[in-house]
Amino acid sequence: MKTINNKNKNGLVNVFKEGSLFNRLSFLIMGLGNICYGQIIKGIMFLAVEVMYILYMIRSGVNNLAGLTTLGTKQQGMVIDETQGIYVMEAGDNSMLILLWGVVTIVVSAVFLLGWYLSVRSGYEAYKTVKSGKKPANFFAEIKSLANQNIHIAFLTVPLLGILIFTVTPLIYMILMAFTNYDANHQPPGNLFDWVGLANFKALASSTGALAATFWPILAWTLIWGFVATFSCYFLGIFLAILINSKGIRFKKFWRTIFVLTMAIPAFISLLVIRTMVGENGILNVLLQQWGFTAQPLPFLTNGTWAKISVIVINLWIGIPATMLMTTGILMNIPAELYESAQIDGAGKVKTFIYITFPYMIFVTTPYLITQLIANFNNFGVIFFLTEGAPLSLNYYKGAGKTDLLVTWLYKLTTTNKDYNLAATIGIVIFVISAVFSLISYSRSGAVKNEEGFS
Amino acid sequence: MKQTNTHLLIKYRMPALLFTLLCVVSIILPYASVGENSIRIFTLFSLNDFAKTMAGLYIAGVICSLVIKVLVMVRPIKSIARMALVLDVISAGSYSVLLFGSKSILDKAGIFDAGFMVKDFGIGYWLGLVMAYVALTFTMKLCKISTGYIVLTWLSIIWLFPILWIVLTSLRAESGYYVGYFIPRGFTLDNYKALFSKTSVIPFGKWWFNTFIVAICSCIISSMIVLMTSYVLSRVRFSWRGSLMRVMLIIGMFPGFMSMIAVYNILKGAGLSQSLGALIVVNVAGAAMGYYICKGFLDTIPRSLDEAAIIDGATRFQIFTRVTIPLSKPIIIYTVLTSFIGPWGDYIFPSMLLGDKQNSYTVAIGLKWMTDFRRINNYYTQFAAGAVLVSIPIVILFVALQRFYVEGLSGAVKG
Amino acid sequence: MKRRLLALALSATMLAMVGCGEAESNGAAEADKATEAASTEEVETRDITLKVWTPEEDMGITEQMCQAFDDAHDEYNITYDISVTGIDESAEALTTDADAAADVFLIPSGSISELNDAGLLLPIAYDLDNVKSLYGAGAIEACTRDDMLYGIPSTPNSFFMYYNKDLYTEDEVKSLDTMMAKDLGADVANFSFTIHNSWYIESFFYAAGCTLFGEDGTDATDCTWNTENGLAAGNYLLDLLANPKYVEDQDGLAGNLMKEGKLAALCSGTWASPDCKEALGDSYAAAPLPTITLNGKECQLRNFADYKCYAVKSNTAEPLAAQQLAEFFANEENQILHYENNGQTPTCLSLQDNEAIKSDPATVALIQQTEYAVPQPSISQIANYWTPAEALGTGMVNGEVTKDNLQESLDTMVESVLSELAAE
């Protein structure tokens, strides 16, 4: 496919230099270019966008942006209502909402800027078309193009708007929170919070204090958990898939269904159930004692080391079937000739696996492995529903426990401790770790490189 | 490979015989001992019926198996070998049962004053157990039956154990969280009835229905979004495509609930807070970021089909509806299935978003509510019943559509 | 005649909108009017909406009380919006969205500090002197911050001991050591407690004479749990845990054991009284927490004094009516209603001589225990107490805190309790 637009020739500077007077004016009055060169409806729509944006900015946008600089100045107070003899609240500024609406205004402005850029360019295109003696595309033709060469605009607008509003906006909000003192002592609406620069990052990075004593061990456990959970499920899942798919096994669908059952049950239910089962007085401990395997109940989730092993093992129960199902399909795709030639060479099962199945598998599933790894770093569900981070540790900053991952700790910081600023800071750290991992692997993975192969 | 007849791998008959012989030898070795006190397996015969049956099955199993295997040495016939196989399964099975049952048998009979523990099993038992399995393995090889069955059977038991537990609990007549037994003493459907009764604190029917609505709406809309996004990313080359894919990959990595309060306030600003609509909007809004698997699948559909359609004068939209969609059944089903399941298990966000609006709660909130430490003792059986009710529709869908799920996923990952 | 639209969002069964009913009342309300100071003359009736949060077990009586409040106040024509939100959930829900929150709700007095710091509570001022005179000083104290009253105490929120009077005599339950020493048979455990809960564990340290945030609970730099006294209390707890006749309560385990007759005594609050009554039948009895022997001295177990109280959110549209309703919920008449409904111990001074209440073992035990109790510290530093204390208790229960590292653990715990909040 040819790219539709030729970038260099359409730069804004170029438009200003080469374009007509109307094009230049359209830098100020959006859509003027289009209106003058025959694309009246399109031009009016651009103009309408501009008018709406200006109205928005006058009504609230400017205020929102101004609020960002101070995050509010007027504290909420109580005043006595003389006539009734009671206190009534005198509303103050809510720093949290000021921050949020400020971010929303920034996003709206960014979207508007994009529209402005497009309008200027579109006016220039129309001008060029007219200059070359043709008629610019009319409105209906442009609408039609949405079903064809411009289908990406038609198809992506709604999904991207969704992401912009419900992911990107909150994301910016969260990032900004890391630079404030929005903690337990500065809770809106009663109190204001303010910008503090990099203080939170410094507190986290400093090698002393309970905060650092919590952060590093939790980070280490998050990494260990991520790798162990991912690879254990991966290899055992492959093993199970190979087992079920091996020649001698009959009723393959039956066996597969047994394991698929665990996938079909919503994870939080199975996790809550298993949590009750492995409790100090849960059925597993009861049975182990009745069977004579142990005299005392085993501290599956109450002892730090036990709990770490337990969550990894329990995660297998959930994770193996998923890998099994995925690899089942891939195993069937491995060219049969490979196996046949291996058999002729007299290779045994183990050798076949090491030299044929495994390399193929790794090659094909690297992207999956990476997504899994990231997902496990952020595996909120398993830890939250199984242990809630417990057992707590005396050495950790309030509330953090020995099985807490960075994400679950972050959740605790917001819900129980109300230290939103710290949580946001940690959120950024998690993000940086995940982004580095995935960007490296994303650009290296065979699947991405080969994408064009099908084109 | 040389020594084959049509039905048996006779090179294995010797080891199968030898290990069964070891089983027979193990019978006379000590079965269990606590301190000075030691017993043989024959002691089990004098205890209760269950012990008698299990011990009897084992002893008879290994001895008969030995005899038959000697016969196989002489005449390698499939039907005879199969008999040995059945006997080996019986002996391995009965000894496995005794691994779990010995304590209750021996303690009830008061054989050992100090009580019996698994570690007190003697050499006779362990040798017998291990050899029974080894012999079974060789007999299976002899009969050309995959030994994978042994592993699969054990794994299935482990995997089904929690599921069985929850189903049994949901049918248990005695309430309470802690019970010292696996099989309920009484069976009842009251736990299910209680969930739907008028006097129940939990309007489970209403919540189930809410979840269902949310699941249906989210799965339809987000499947459309995912499909459209993936199609564009897979088929259309536009200037900002690469950066868009990378950006979506990255922002998908932020821990979502960090910004929950922001999402809540945005929804509130839009007048949507505390409603099922809000839940659907949120479920759907981020759907496009899950384009990865679906795009991988679409990449595998040959481009030549598109090109042929273009030559025939089809627009891209027509290609999408008439060529791509019909060819993407597995991945569509995969996407629908995953997005349908989501709302059933989603707890954190709904519980915050819906606040005190109990009549728009979803099942996840209700079930979590029941497992609160102050309530779990009273509600555990009802919780189990609720869990079963939530799982049933998904299990049915999953089992029925498993094939497509596998095809969609594997097609996509193959990318 | 008043015309009302009662929007009862959820009934006790919470199924759906119960419906919009037109309730009429004239005669009775007319008669009550005279007693209401505000309504002796002809008053203008105002249409207002009040939202109320109530725990599920109070749903029925909350509707009843709301109705009665409306009947008593001719100046309002109230549309109620009542929904179920547990006492422990209201604080969280209020923080999330104060606009959508209820005007009147029930919270533990311990959470007043946190909510007040966030500016979410309205100080009670209507009829203040009268209100203060209705309840005990301790209860009022617990709901007061900086000389402002933020909640109307409804019931003591505290725990005491239930026991089987066939197994223990009234004298024996006075001392934990006597109780533990008694042989009740092989299958029966003697005593159960919740050491891993930071709301329970403090009773042993208070018994030993340790302080948390100073004598009066306002000194953010004081916590003496790591002193010699604290060490003694810690050792006592470790010995208790090592005793096979002790059961650590978890997820309702103790209640279950009691039902099966395998436990002689457990510690819990009035909320457990229906279950305990059912479990013990005729042998049901209650007592204040026992004493323990530390360094040869008898020390009474002393827990936190906390109250469940009705509070009003700061941004309510109807500050006056909401306060009146909160006060109404906790008045003498409605405390009797609460008591009859689920045995909730009243806080009204005037009810202490009520015959029915005086003869209820749980209530008597709770009132006695309240006398031993220590006011739960109200400074915001208390937020730093909960998890380190829980971590200490958990560590003791699962064997990570032992006699060897007890001193060290207590030091760490005190350090975290006293630590400054991060990133100031």
Q: Which of residues 158-177 of C touch B (CB under 8 A)?
A: none
pLDDT at C35 over 70: no
Residue of C387, C392, C402 to mutate, interface with A, max A Cβ within 10 Å:
C387
Q: Which chains touch C (3 or more CB pairs under 8 A)?
A: A, B
Looking at residue A208, its pLDDT comes to 67
The total of structural domains in chain B comes to: 2
Residue B312 falls inside a structural domain: yes
Domain boundaries, chain C: 6-154+306-361, 159-302+385-418
Verify that B115 and B235 share a domain, yes or no: no
A214-252: pLDDT as tens digits = 888 999 999 999 999 999 999 999 999 989 988 888 888
pLDDT at B248 over 50: yes
Kindly state the average pLDDT of the residues B313-334. Answer: 89
Give the residue among C55, C42, C123 at the shortest CA–CA distance from C84. C55
Looking at residue C309, its pLDDT comes to 95
Domain boundary among B110, B145, B180: B145
* B203 interaction partners in chain C (CB closer than 8 Å): 13-16
Burial of C123 (0-12, 13-18, 19+ CB in 10 A): buried
Verify that B140 and B220 share a domain, yes or no: no
- Torsion B395-B399-B404-B410 (CA) sign: positive
* Alpha-carbon gap: C90 to the closest alpha carbon of chain A (Å): 13
Looking at residue B413, its pLDDT comes to 61
Kindly state the average pLDDT of the residues A153-180. Answer: 91
Determine the Cα–Cα distance for residues A189 and A169; give it in Å rounded to an integer: 21
* Chain C touched by A392 (CB under 8 Å): yes
3-state secondary structure of B290: helix
* Chain A touched by B102 (CB under 8 Å): yes
* A390 interaction partners in chain B (CB closer than 8 Å): none
- The contacts of residue B114 (CB under 8 Å, 6+ apart) are B34, B35
CATH class of A201-454: mainly alpha
Kindly state the average pLDDT of the residues A74-93. Answer: 85
* Alpha-carbon gap: C128 to the closest alpha carbon of chain A (Å): 9
Domain boundary among B145, B178, B212: B145
Q: Which of residues 120-179 of B touch A (CB under 8 A)?
A: 120, 144-146, 148-149, 151-152, 155-156, 158-160, 162-163, 165-166, 177-179
* Chain B touched by C256 (CB under 8 Å): yes
pLDDT at A176 over 60: yes
Residues forming a β-bridge with B41: none
* C423 interaction partners in chain A (CB closer than 8 Å): 181, 183, 196, 199-200, 203, 419, 421-422
Determine the Cα–Cα distance for residues B250 and A38; give it in Å rounded to an integer: 42
Residues forming a β-bridge with C284: C164
Verify that B114 and B214 share a domain, yes or no: no
Kindly state the average pLDDT of the residues A383-412. Answer: 86
For C58, nearest residue in chain B (alpha carbons)? B201
Verify that B231 and B121 share a domain, yes or no: no
Determine the Cα–Cα distance for residues B383 and B191; give it in Å rounded to an integer: 8
pTM: 0.85
Partner residue opposite A152 with nearest CB, options B155, B236, B348? B236
Verify that B199 and B128 share a domain, yes or no: no
Which of the four pLDDT bands, split at 50, 70 and 90, describes residue A445?
low
Residue B170 falls inside a structural domain: no
Question: Looking at the domain that runs over C6-154+306-361, which CATH code has it been given?
Answer: 3.40.190.10
Kindly state the average pLDDT of the residues C263-289. Answer: 91
* Chain C touched by A91 (CB under 8 Å): yes
The whole domain housing B329 covers 195-414
Looking at residue C407, its pLDDT comes to 94
Verify that B114 and B215 share a domain, yes or no: no
3-state secondary structure of B3: coil
Q: Which chains touch A (3 or more CB pairs under 8 A)?
A: B, C
* Alpha-carbon gap: A158 to the closest alpha carbon of chain C (Å): 28
* A362 interaction partners in chain B (CB closer than 8 Å): none
Give the residue among B121, B129, B127 at the shortest CA–CA distance from B88. B129
Instruction: Give this complex's ipTM.
Output: 0.86
DSSP for A388-453, written as a single string: TTPSB-TTSSTT-BTT--HHHHHHHHHHTS--HHHHHHHHHHHHHHHHHHHHHHHHH-HHHHGGGG
Verify that B281 and B379 share a domain, yes or no: yes
Determine the Cα–Cα distance for residues B298 and A197; give it in Å rounded to an integer: 46
Looking at residue C42, its pLDDT comes to 58
pLDDT at B202 over 80: no
- Torsion A138-A143-A144-A149 (CA) sign: positive
Partner residue opposite A394 with nearest CB, options C323, C383, C412? C412
Looking at residue A273, its pLDDT comes to 87
Residue of C75, C97, C114, C398 to mutate, interface with A, max A Cβ within 10 Å:
C398
Looking at residue B245, its pLDDT comes to 86
Burial of A368 (0-12, 13-18, 19+ CB in 10 A): buried
C208-261: pLDDT as tens digits = 999 999 888 888 889 999 999 999 999 999 999 999 999 998 877 888 889 888
Kindly state the average pLDDT of the residues C280-284. Answer: 92
Which of the four pLDDT bands, split at 50, 70 and 90, describes residue A428?
confident
**CB under 8 A, 24+ apart: contacts of A229-234:** A229/A312, A229/A315, A229/A319, A229/A376, A229/A379, A230/A369, A230/A372, A230/A373, A230/A376, A232/A312, A232/A315, A232/A316, A232/A319, A233/A315, A233/A316, A233/A319, A233/A320, A233/A322, A233/A323, A233/A372, A234/A323, A234/A365, A234/A369, A234/A372
Residues of chain A with CATH 1.10.3720.10: 201-454
* A384 interaction partners in chain B (CB closer than 8 Å): 348
Which of the four pLDDT bands, split at 50, 70 and 90, describes residue C323?
very high
Kindly state the average pLDDT of the residues A298-322. Answer: 92
pLDDT at B109 over 70: yes
Partner residue opposite A185 with nearest CB, options C386, C419, C421? C421
Mean pLDDT of chain C: 85
Structure-model confidence comparison of residues B201 and A296, the more confident one: A296
Cα dihedral C379/C384/C385/C391 (nearest 10): 170
Residue B105 sits in a domain of what CATH number?
A: 1.20.140
Question: Looking at the domain that runs over C159-302+385-418, which CATH code has it been given?
Answer: 3.40.190.10
Looking at residue C8, its pLDDT comes to 32
